[in-house]
Chains A and B, each alone.
Chain A
Amino acid sequence: MRYITILIAYALLMTSCERVVKDFEVPEKPLKLVIHGRAEANTSCRINVSESLNFYDQNKFYPSENATLQLMLDGEELGYFFYDTLGWYSNPEVNYSRTGEYQLRVSAPDFEDASAIFRIPPEPRITGIEAFIYEEKNVDCYEFDCPSTYYLVANIRVGDDPSAENYYTLQVSYKTEDYMNIRSDPGGETPPSPEYAYYPLTMIAPPGLSIEASKSYDWYMKVTPQDNAYGELFFINDGQFTGENDSLFILADLGPIVYSGLAEIEGKYIVQVGFAEIDKQYYEYAKNRAAVQQAEGNPFAEPVTVYQSVEGGFGLIYGISATTDSIDLLQLEGPDLSEVEMPDYYY
């Protein structure tokens, strides 16, 4: 009996929840060149080259200052790039065009050569926009002064080439003279103190619109080379438009402009529809980035592979063609719902 007692005591002692922690080094892989760029027709070539970090290194930007960049168009050399600052390389003498396939070759000492292929998509065509303001009465409001909600309802017609894969971005923003909150750009190309700024309006996507890449877009981006705007950007895939004059019916919440009534609308409020055709690479990247944002802070989320278009390195170079169209809210006729047929899905 004694040895049984000893055995039980021993077993209970040893089986108390064990937890041993052991460290081991994170495996490291050779660092690579990181190449980012945005190519738009009739603009000069600018490319940023930097170095990657080991996964567990502290975040720090290491611009590459001694890289060699060669740009090819359909297999023929267009020229080399010159170093500016902070990893930026440019060649002011070469402008991008919408014809042909570009290849960028990058080499730097101690790094594997990298290259990227990209095209600039054709210019998108907004063939027409019909718009009106829709007032939604707040029936659940018990207060004496019950404010309505106002929407800009826009039917955007687009000319699309059904034989090609087309990807678009859409942003509806309002132009205002209030530019205090715009981020200045100490070293970049954007004007540090614009006289106006565009702020996005929250859009409500109709059913069926693919917005898989459009979740929580929280970076500001250029709608045109001149204008910046904060996010709320829809990425639209090839399934949305399939021919001439295909339309996209969209609602934009006018809450930031109209608080208590249409009388507040003043002449300075111009709503701008920014529409851009992007290449598939950028669409894939954006879709991917949305998944990254979705996974943030969730330890159970499946890992996300970030899209990159650079062979032998990291990064993304994409082509974009943008166009804009403006809607002057004051020129819109008042909402007369009896004459307008709203799609059922908005009710």
Chain B
Amino acid sequence: MQKITRAALFTLFFLFLSHTVQGQRYALSGHVTDKETGETLLSANIYEESSLKGTVSNNYGFYSLVLPAGKIKLVCSFIGYQTQLIEIELTKDSLVNFELDPVLEIDEVVITDKGPEQRVRSSQMSMVELPVIQVRQLPVLLGEIDIIKSLQLMPGVQSGMEGSTGLYVRGGGPDQNLILLDGVPVYNVNHLFGFLSVFNADAIKSVSLIKGGFPARYGGRLSSVIDIRMKEGNMKQFRSDISVGLISSKITFEGPIIKNKTSFIVSGRRSYLDLLSYPIQQWFNDLNYEDNTTSFAGFYFYDLNAKVNHIFNEKNRLYLSGYLGKDKFYFNNDYFYEDTRDTYLTEDNTHAGIGWGNATVALRWNHVFSNRLFSNLTATFSDFTFITEMSEYEHLIREDMETENEVMFEYYSRIRDYGLRYDFEYNPLTSHYIRFGFNNTVHTFSPGVLVFEQDLNDEGMDTTFGNINIPANEFMAYIEDDISISNKVKVNVGFQYSNFYLEDTTYHSYEPRISGRILLTDRFSIKASFVRMSQYLNLLTNSTIGLPTDLWIPSTRNIHPQRAWQVAAGGAIALGSQYEITLEGFYKEMENLVEYKEGSSFFELNTDWESVVTQGKGESYGVELFAQKSGNKASGWIGYTLSWSLRQFDDISYGKPFPYKYDRRHDVAIVFTYTFNDRINVGLNWVFSTGNSLTLGDQRYISHDAIVSGESAFYEPYMDMFGGGAFTSYFETRNSFRMPAYHRLDWSVNLPKQGKWYKRVLSFGVYNTYGRLNPFFVYEGEVYNPETGQSRTVLKQVTLLSFVPFIRYGISF
């Protein structure tokens, strides 16, 4: 491994020195925006027509391009927009902004922002860009548009349980995804126990997923980077969207505060299961009024996205964005009884609840130092808190005695970050595009805190147990260069250094990154990449249904950072203007992965969580095929993944390798959308995957203790005394059993209608159309045979979602 690192560093050094002396050249720079809304366009393609030398706009719509002096034709293109061509005489560094006209109806836009050829030419591999407008056409569970579930349809990305938002990328765990919302890490993306993600598609502008070949500017996770960018708000006119779904509704406002200077967007979403069920519960309470008890239970979630941005001038822009979201399940029970004749009163109010939520804030300042140097300074805040609480108030009056007792129990876990990041992009030469910067994050961990308070007749007690506010610091600095060695060969070389400090322990990490492509023809390229990654945060997880009982814990003296290296190689070919096929193979090795020890669970985490976890290694490898068609009417893709993912821990199954929980040999997704006309379009997807792995007992046998230490154990009269302990349950390895294969077909019909002052879309469809009984979970049960009079044990498979229609109505002004 050290040899590989050294070789990669040497290559990086060599490539930095390799650029040649070039003639008189000038830099062009500017922003690419949507002409109608003023929204910046990310990853737009800007190139010089004759030489085809070009670049793409960055995450802020900014581009910089160095070209030889003289007369040039500059082309700016972005799918869904009219291509713009500008002729200029380049005699000095110049500013050229592009405002592109949208030419297609949004519902006809294809899945990626990039055209087939652009993907072939890019040195970045293992990357998918998912425009949110495409997501709207796809059929979804309960009609709730979900960008995370759309990502699950991509090759190399596997979902967790049925209907959940879990993401498992190239054999990695759920904690190995760096999910960034406007550059701020989001630690828990689950609403409604994982059936929905926290991202409101109405407020999201772009989503990109990187599975391998990570550029040096990203770090801190082993398996993927999901970069989600919020809309900035319409700079030209006010606009609002309202969407009504089966379990939640959304409303979005956006518009200019100062036209073409300052804009805002506010988008909120709330579920209403609790509100709808309230009258029913009230009716039930009224029906049982004699019990003197009133009970209410409910669940709700909400999220709020807000963003303001201001353009000071061509060189300075400021963005302030925030997200606040919460889920809450609660139960209230009130009992009241009063007997005035006997002076007797008793009152008991009980409240219990589980809640979790994220809050993020990002303040960013774009500054253009020159046509060649762009910078972005970001200050971030992120918080994820999970709370289980229970409180009880008792009030008793009996003749001359009165007592009041108030008890509160609370268990919470939290991770809170404050971060500062400074990124630079420098474009010194046509053949180089250099990025560098640093990031420092102060983490505060509270993995499992127990608070107990009691107030008995004004005598109080307040006790706190557990791990409160463990501080840690994570620092990262990087440099990378996108180098065009020739027209055929392009590489991205980079290096990241990071360290993590907690209490008296510091870890360092040196991570070379390299990826490149060779253009064999104009429409066919081969690519390869090597990356090394480190991760200082670990998610301890027992459950598979997105329960927020999963705890984020830091690396410590005893828990070493997770590390991985990954190689990937493949090719991309563009067939015509509408078809593209990419084929990639990957191999990834991971070490210091964290799992609970055998027999342990999160119930034991209140004090010493380090003693219940163990570390081991894992590997995953496979092949991904992605065949895509883009077009105005028909578009879609076929994704296929053949992969293996294994784990090996000294303390689990005696060191034998075992399949990862989400090891799936085959994973297929077929997605198809078709636009008949401007009043009707349809979406269809079919997914198939190998069943989830599961640990089941192989056999049972009389235990060693019963035989050797207690020889009487196997006598029938003593069986009850020894109970199940007299027999040992044995399984060869963890996850050795496979559940039945998973597959389903979903479809949706979208009926847009343009009115005079509004546009509405009515959508309906069915999730799991043919009612496939996919396993949600299995448990052991018994079946009675009346002929033999005996019961036998079978596995019972529970299916949650077998045929689920949905309807959604949205209107925008």
Per-position binary interface string of chain A over residues 294-306, scored 1 when its CB falls under 8 Å from any chain B CB and 0 otherwise: 1100101111111
Nearest opposing residue in chain B for A183, CB measure: B712
Q: Does B315 contact A (CB under 8 A)?
A: no
**Residue pair A59, B793 in contact (C-beta under 8 Å):** no
**Residue pair A305, B701 in contact (C-beta under 8 Å):** no
B780 to chain A, nearest CB (A): 7
Q: A20-B798, A219-B709 are in contact. Are A11 and B781 (CB under 8 A)?
A: no
Q: A14-B803, A15-B806 are in contact. Are A294 and B600 (CB under 8 A)?
A: yes
Distance A32 CA – B603 CA, assembled complex (angstroms): 36
> Which residues of the other chain, A, contact B740 by a CB distance below 8 angstroms?
24
Nearest opposing residue in chain B for A288, CB measure: B598
**Residue pair A188, B711 in contact (C-beta under 8 Å):** yes
Q: Does B805 contact A (CB under 8 A)?
A: yes
Q: Does B575 contact A (CB under 8 A)?
A: no
**Residue pair A7, B764 in contact (C-beta under 8 Å):** yes
Which residue of the partner chain, among A7, A221, A284, contacts B807 with CB atoms under 8 Å? Answer: A7
**Residue pair A185, B698 in contact (C-beta under 8 Å):** no
Q: Does A222 contact B (CB under 8 A)?
A: yes
**Residue pair B797, A298 in contact (C-beta under 8 Å):** no
Q: A24-B794, A56-B780 are in contact. Are A306 and B711 (CB under 8 A)?
A: no
A236 to chain B, nearest CB (A): 18
**Residue pair B698, A59 in contact (C-beta under 8 Å):** no
**Residue pair A29, B698 in contact (C-beta under 8 Å):** yes
Q: A23-B796, A53-B699, A86-B714 are in contact. Are A302 and B595 (CB under 8 A)?
A: yes
Q: Does B345 contact A (CB under 8 A)?
A: no
B704, B719, B773, B783 pick with most chain A CB within 10 angstroms: B704
Q: A12-B246, A36-B708 are in contact. Are A54 and B764 (CB under 8 A)?
A: no
Which residue of the partner chain, among B600, B708, B796, contacts A22 with CB atoms under 8 Å? Answer: B796
> Which residues of the other chain, B, contact A220 by a CB distance below 8 angstroms?
709-710
Q: Does A285 contact B (CB under 8 A)?
A: yes
Q: Does B653 contact A (CB under 8 A)?
A: yes
Which residue of the partner chain, among B600, B654, B780, B799, contacts A301 with CB atoms under 8 Å? Answer: B600
Q: Does B734 contact A (CB under 8 A)?
A: yes
Q: Does A254 contact B (CB under 8 A)?
A: no
> Which residues of the other chain, B, contact A11 by a CB distance below 8 angstroms?
246, 764, 805-807
> Which residues of the other chain, A, contact B732 by a CB distance below 8 angstroms?
305
Interface size for A (C-beta < 8 A) is 76
**Residue pair A59, B726 in contact (C-beta under 8 Å):** yes
Distance A56 CA – B728 CA, assembled complex (angstroms): 12
**Residue pair B598, A22 in contact (C-beta under 8 Å):** no
Which residue of the partner chain, among B700, B708, B711, contacts A187 with CB atoms under 8 Å? Answer: B711
Q: Does A2 contact B (CB under 8 A)?
A: no
Q: Does B800 contact A (CB under 8 A)?
A: yes
Distance A22 CA – B653 CA, assembled complex (angstroms): 30
> Which residues of the other chain, B, contact A86 by a CB distance below 8 angstroms?
714
Q: Does B696 contact A (CB under 8 A)?
A: yes
Give the residues from 3 to 17 in chain A that come closer than 8 angstroms, CB to CB, to chain B.
4, 7-8, 10-12, 14-15, 17
> Which residues of the other chain, B, contact A221 by a CB distance below 8 angstroms?
705, 709
Q: Does A333 contact B (CB under 8 A)?
A: no
Q: A11-B764, A295-B599 are in contact. Are A26 and B696 (CB under 8 A)?
A: yes
> Which residues of the other chain, B, contact A25 by a CB distance below 8 angstroms?
794-795
Q: Does B560 contact A (CB under 8 A)?
A: no
Nearest opposing residue in chain A for B710, CB measure: A219
**Residue pair A21, B797 in contact (C-beta under 8 Å):** yes
Q: Does B90 contact A (CB under 8 A)?
A: no
Give the residues from 308 to 327 in chain A that come closer than 8 angstroms, CB to CB, to chain B.
308, 314-316
Per-position binary interface string of chain B over residues 583-599, scored 1 when its CB falls under 8 Å from any chain A CB and 0 otherwise: 00000000000011111
Q: Does A55 contact B (CB under 8 A)?
A: yes
> Which residues of the other chain, A, contact B804 by a CB distance below 8 angstroms?
14-15, 18
**Residue pair A20, B773 in contact (C-beta under 8 Å):** yes
A237 to chain B, nearest CB (A): 13
> Which residues of the other chain, A, contact B542 by a CB distance below 8 angstroms?
300, 302
Q: Does A119 contact B (CB under 8 A)?
A: no
**Residue pair A301, B599 in contact (C-beta under 8 Å):** yes
**Residue pair B707, A36 in contact (C-beta under 8 Å):** yes
**Residue pair B701, A34 in contact (C-beta under 8 Å):** yes
Q: A4-B762, A298-B601 are in contact. Are A19 and B702 (CB under 8 A)?
A: no
Nearest opposing residue in chain B for A300, CB measure: B601
Which residue of the partner chain, among B543, B653, B792, contacts A305 with CB atoms under 8 Å? Answer: B653
Per-position binary interface string of chain B over residues 713-753, scored 1 when its CB falls under 8 Å from any chain A CB and 0 otherwise: 01100010000111111111110010010000000000000
Per-position binary interface string of chain B over residues 634-655, scored 1 when its CB falls under 8 Å from any chain A CB and 0 otherwise: 0000000000000000001110
> Which residues of the other chain, A, contact B800 by a CB distance below 8 angstroms?
17-20
A7, A15, A188, A306 pick with most chain B CB within 10 angstroms: A15
**Residue pair A188, B701 in contact (C-beta under 8 Å):** no
B41 to chain A, nearest CB (A): 36
Q: Does A73 contact B (CB under 8 A)?
A: no
Distance A307 CA – B731 CA, assembled complex (angstroms): 10
Q: Does A108 contact B (CB under 8 A)?
A: no
Give the residues from 558 to 576 in chain B that come closer than 8 angstroms, CB to CB, to chain A.
none
Q: Does B460 contact A (CB under 8 A)?
A: no
**Residue pair B597, A302 in contact (C-beta under 8 Å):** yes
**Residue pair B795, A314 in contact (C-beta under 8 Å):** no
> Which residues of the other chain, B, contact A187 by a CB distance below 8 angstroms?
711-712, 715
B271 to chain A, nearest CB (A): 14
**Residue pair A48, B715 in contact (C-beta under 8 Å):** no
B239 to chain A, nearest CB (A): 25
Per-position binary interface string of chain A over residues 180-203, scored 1 when its CB falls under 8 Å from any chain B CB and 0 otherwise: 000111111110000000000000
**Residue pair A53, B805 in contact (C-beta under 8 Å):** no
Q: Does A291 contact B (CB under 8 A)?
A: yes
Distance A38 CA – B697 CA, assembled complex (angstroms): 26
Nearest opposing residue in chain A for B730, CB measure: A306
B694 to chain A, nearest CB (A): 10
**Residue pair A306, B728 in contact (C-beta under 8 Å):** yes
**Residue pair B726, A303 in contact (C-beta under 8 Å):** no
Q: Does A259 contact B (CB under 8 A)?
A: no
Q: Does B514 contact A (CB under 8 A)?
A: no
**Residue pair A305, B708 in contact (C-beta under 8 Å):** no
Distance A56 CA – B695 CA, assembled complex (angstroms): 14
**Residue pair B699, A52 in contact (C-beta under 8 Å):** yes
Distance A75 CA – B696 CA, assembled complex (angstroms): 37
> Which residues of the other chain, B, contact A305 by a CB distance below 8 angstroms?
598, 652-654, 730-734
Q: A183-B710, A302-B601, A305-B733 are in contact. Are A59 and B797 (CB under 8 A)?
A: no
Q: Does A31 contact B (CB under 8 A)?
A: yes
Distance A162 CA – B601 CA, assembled complex (angstroms): 36
Nearest opposing residue in chain A for B708, CB measure: A38
**Residue pair A314, B730 in contact (C-beta under 8 Å):** yes
Q: Does B801 contact A (CB under 8 A)?
A: yes
Distance A219 CA – B702 CA, assembled complex (angstroms): 14
Which residue of the partner chain, among B701, B792, B806, contacts A314 with CB atoms under 8 Å? Answer: B701
**Residue pair A298, B603 in contact (C-beta under 8 Å):** yes
Nearest opposing residue in chain B for A51, CB measure: B701
> Which residues of the other chain, B, contact A61 by a CB distance below 8 angstroms?
702, 714
Give the residues from 75 to 99 in chain A that come closer than 8 angstroms, CB to CB, to chain B.
86-87
**Residue pair A307, B699 in contact (C-beta under 8 Å):** no
A314 to chain B, nearest CB (A): 5
Can you identify 15 A-B contacts, CB atoms within 8 angstroms? A22-B796, A31-B699, A50-B707, A56-B794, A59-B700, A59-B719, A189-B711, A190-B711, A294-B600, A300-B601, A301-B600, A302-B596, A302-B597, A302-B601, A306-B730
A residues in contact (CB < 8 Å) with B: 4, 7-8, 10-12, 14-15, 17-27, 29, 31-32, 34, 36-38, 48, 50-57, 59, 61, 63, 86-87, 183-190, 218-222, 284-285, 288-295, 298, 300-308, 314-316
Per CB-CB distance, the 7 closest pairs between chain A and chain B, nearest first, are A56-B793, A291-B599, A188-B711, A295-B599, A61-B714, A55-B697, A300-B601
Q: Known contacts A19-B799, A61-B714; can you find 14 more A-B pairs with CB under 8 A? A: A18-B800, A18-B801, A19-B800, A29-B699, A31-B699, A36-B702, A50-B701, A189-B711, A295-B598, A302-B600, A302-B652, A303-B598, A305-B734, A314-B728
B residues in contact (CB < 8 Å) with A: 142, 246, 542-543, 595-603, 652-654, 695-702, 704-705, 707-712, 714-715, 719, 724-734, 737, 740, 762, 764, 773, 780-781, 783, 792-807
